[in-house]
Amino acid sequence: MIAGHLQEKKGLFYIVLNSKDENGKRKPKWIPTGLKVKGNKRKAEIMLQEARKNHHMEEQVLAEEANQHALKAKAASTHDDNKRLFAAFMLQWLEMMKNSIELITYISYSNAVKGRIEPYFREKGMMLEDLTTEDIQTFYTHEMNVRGVSPNTVIHYHANIRKALQYAMKTKLIVANPADLVERPKKNNYVASFYNAHELNQLLAVIQGEKIELAIILASFYGLRRSEVVGLKWSAIDLTNRTITIKHTVTSGTLNGKFIEIAKDRTKNKASRRTLPLVDTFYELLIRIKEQQEVHRSSYGITYCTNYLEYIYVDALGQRIKPGYITQHFPILLGRHKFRRIRYHDLRHSCASLLLANGVGMKEVQEWLGHSDYATTANIYSHLEYNSKISSAQAMSEVLKLK
């Protein structure tokens, strides 16, 4: 088990683990305990033992992953030098992509490749240079007809396979990309669901004091994404100019069976970084939340988590609300109050539909929601742009005199 000790700093206990980096160089790992030195040595020692134990388990997992990777590499090398398993190539391509894409994107790639693509083609024993369009097409058909996955999921598989094979062509491992001739399944047409003004007002009337209250208000009024809600910081609020700036996000995913949260000072795209007016109702809610946080911090003392003091959306113990909590508990709240079932993200659509219904133009809706381009907004909400249709009908009525 890794060695470690307690270190006192500014009146608090810290755990210091004697870990090493990938080059074997000693690199101490500091872990805050949140415990004051006075009267908490025993608690700190228990936390030290737990930290050493957890670190040991993590090292075992990493060692096992390295061993499995070595075994797969060895299996691939048993074939002719000029041949390699397509499954092994997909894993190599995935590893290569790791440092060139966002972590959340890598998680998506990894889940597709390791979860379905690699196991399927490894079982078939398919060689990279022998892979045909028919082989890929058969895989897609199997996924939809046997496993029941959606066409959209298969399209994601196709994006990974085609991109990997493009790299194989570039490095002259194959002479043509068999994925180019595959017939992709037709993407499911997406029709956004939304609440009307009456339904939204009914929802807002029952959520006061609920843990999910802030998430619902931010999505339905400001049209914020889940990642933007969880990532909202106090520094984004300008009380003097009464504005709220969306500039920090928190996303989550599962990589190799481990839950990961990704906090970054970047939004989904450049347009997503936007500044919106701080209305009186939300201003009052923020004041109430700030007061509650101060009360909770005072009440819970050393057990209150101080890692997320800069975030607005935290629980009574100071822990930042997890993105998955919102997705899981929103339908529970709807069911408890017998509301029509929609997804949490549909509150964002509800926001857009109400803006359009009340005369706000499509371009302004695009900017309010933080879409990267006008086409994205128009494709989703063009059927809701009531005013333009009314104007068109009136114009036609003046030209064509129908009896």
Annotated domain spans of the chain: 4-60, 84-181, 197-390
| Six-digit token string for 221 | 């009024």
Q: What is the rounded CA–CA span in Å between residue 350 and residue 218?
A: 12
Q: What is the mean pLDDT of residues 174-185?
A: 94
Q: What is the rounded CA–CA span in Å between residue 242 and residue 32?
A: 35
| Six-digit token string for 195 | 């609440």
Residue 326 has what pLDDT?
Answer: 96
CB atoms near residue 90 (< 10 Å): 24
- The percentage of residues in the chain with a pLDDT greater than 90, rounded to a whole number, is 49
Q: Which CATH superfamily is domain 84-181 in?
A: Tyrosine recombinase, N-terminal domain (1.10.150.130)
| Alpha carbon 397 to chain centroid, angstroms | 48
What 3-state DSSP class applies to 341?
A: coil
Residue 86 has what pLDDT?
Answer: 96
Q: What is the rounded CA–CA span in Å between residue 21 and residue 28?
A: 9
Residues whose CB falls within 8 Å of the CB of residue 186, separated by 6 or more in sequence, listed in order:
151
Please say if the pLDDT value at position 133 is more than 60: yes
Count the helix, strand and coil residues of the chain and give each as a percent rounded to the nearest 5. Answer: 55, 15, 30
What does pTM read for this prediction?
0.67
Residue 81 has what pLDDT?
Answer: 46
Burial profile 147-158: b = 16 or more Cβ within 10 angstroms, e = fewer: eebeeebbebbb
Q: What is the rounded CA–CA span in Å between residue 332 and residue 212?
A: 11
CB atoms near residue 342 (< 10 Å): 19
User: pLDDT, tens digit, for every residue of 236-269?
Assistant: 999 889 999 999 999 988 888 888 888 888 766 6
CB atoms near residue 222 (< 10 Å): 24
Q: What is the rounded CA–CA span in Å between residue 277 and residue 268?
A: 20
**Fold of domain 197-390:** hpI Integrase; Chain A (1.10.443)
Q: What is the rounded CA–CA span in Å between residue 11 and residue 31?
A: 15
| Six-digit token string for 99 | 């440092």
| Six-digit token string for 138 | 């058969």
